[in-house]
Structures are given as C-alpha cells and as structure tokens.
Chain A
C-alpha cells in the first residue's frame, strides 16, 4: 500500500539553527500539504501545493519558514533560524484531488524539539 514518506522522524536542534524536513507524497498525488501540530492540538495548515505551485501559505511564518516542491513531486520544509516555539510535530499529507474534495493521506510526521 502506497504511503507518504517523511524524514527524519525525529530532530533535535538548538535555537537559531537551521532545520529541514523532507516529504515524498504518494505517487500521482498532485496536492501536497505541510502541517504543524502542537502537542494536544489539531494540525494547523502551513502550506498547500498543487503540483509545484503554492496554493495557500497564509499561515506560514515566512520570515523563518520556507517550503518548496520544485518538480511537483517531493517537498522540503525549512526553518531558519529555529525558535523554541517551533517545537512540534510537522506532518506532510497528500491527496489525489485538490481543494475540498480530497481525502488526505498523512505521513508519520517529524517531531522537532528545539533546545
């Protein structure tokens, strides 16, 4: 069964360092999402891609976060510099359909701890 892959699974870093997360969606899924989930909360959408184009990044803190999906397949989310408040689970999801029709398939997530 096809799955969304994410790496690393765990990342510990010191504040002011740069971190990067990678996501490989299910083959053929044009829509890719990055979420941040703080412990005890629901996921919050950071950025949504349709192929290589950004559809929504209204909640992405653009002063320190960046996301790209250069060839419309895998994607990278970067934080530079990391802050203590960035400690969270970062989830990637993909869907076959775009917008509100799409059932999303989630990866296992990357748990980030900023010291």
Chain B
C-alpha cells in the first residue's frame, strides 16, 4: 500500500524554465509534507516543507503547493538550474514517522 505516490519517474526541463514535481497521498492523517533532494552517494537533504493548514510555502526558487481536497502537492522550481538535477523525494508525516514516495529524477538541460 503506497501511501505517498510520485507517479512520474523522471522529468527533463530546460535551464531557466519551471520544473513542476508532483506528489499524491492517500492517508488523510498526514499533516505535514516535506520535499527532499538527493544526489548520488549522498543522503537526502531537506528542501522545503508545508503544514496541512497552509496551501503554499515559498523559499527562494522553491515553492510547494498543497491541495488537501485532492490530496496532492507539487514542488515548483523556477528558474531551474543545472545544479537542481537530482532525485526529489516527497515525504509525508503523521507526527510519528515519515513516509516517502519513490522519488523523481529531475534533469535540467543547459
């Protein structure tokens, strides 16, 4: 039972354009959502998060949108840079533990 789903395994965008990474969840008990970025041979690093009481959180080039009714969140990166190329994991918290999606590989073309 996959409670956090990232249905697209990969995304390729041109440098300077917007990257939109999507995530869906099924458990209505999740109340906090996080995005992590992972480079090869490194552990995941925290990127941005959002509480279920909000619908948007912005930090520089990164914005996360939450649609609770649709149980959907998305990460927007604008403008995209080649250094953003990595695997991005969506994670959801119910206060006890984090549940992760499978990740999406973002490639930003120069």
- The answer to whether A and B assemble together is no
Residues of B within 8 A of A (CB): none
